[in-house]
Amino acid sequence: MEEVTNRYRHNQKLEEACTVLLNEIVEDPKREGLLRTPYRFQKAMQELTVGYHQNLSEIVGEALFHEDYSEMVIVRDIEFYSLCEHHLLPFFGKAHVAYIPNGKIIGLSKIPRIVNMYARRLQVQERLTDEISAALESLLGPQGVACVLEGNHMCMMMRGVQSQSSSMITNSMRGSFLNDQKTRDEFMKLISPRG
């Protein structure tokens, strides 16, 4: 991730926004422990929202290949970290992504990169799940795409209801994963926690 963050210049407005925030919560931005916090904040915000500066063609490059393989391809347990657009608090978890090729496959590392690109924006989990599926569908034209996200939301854990053990599961099924119960069942079985 360091190579991505290095291309951004110092953002004075984000730094000033952090100073305003510190003042508004009745903190002293000149206190020793907070002296460099606005600077660190602006760097962190740029890294946490780097997805706005990325696109699919940049992420995937030339990693699309013609292949006759036609069985399910699954990448499971992809860690993701995002910011809830309602509270700007983190949510994080694991993504499980599958597709059934239709003459074209994608380089293995590109699927986690796609997940990360959409996660590194202000998000809701439902939209994030659907964006990942839509991206693979547009890139590959596969027989089907499936995406399941399991997320823990700090906006629910730290504030409001303060429910620490709850998690959210969302899914997006397209093509054969949506229309064929057997295909969907096989996918769900393969991503279930190992016994």
Active site residues: 84-87, 125, 153, 155
Strand 122-123 to strand 73-84: parallel, antiparallel, or no bridges (unpaired)?
A: parallel
Residues with Cβ within 8 Å of residue 195, at least 6 apart in sequence:
none
Strand 168-175 to strand 144-153: parallel, antiparallel, or no bridges (unpaired)?
A: antiparallel
Cα–Cα distance measured from residue 161 to residue 136, given in angstroms and rounded to the nearest whole number: 35
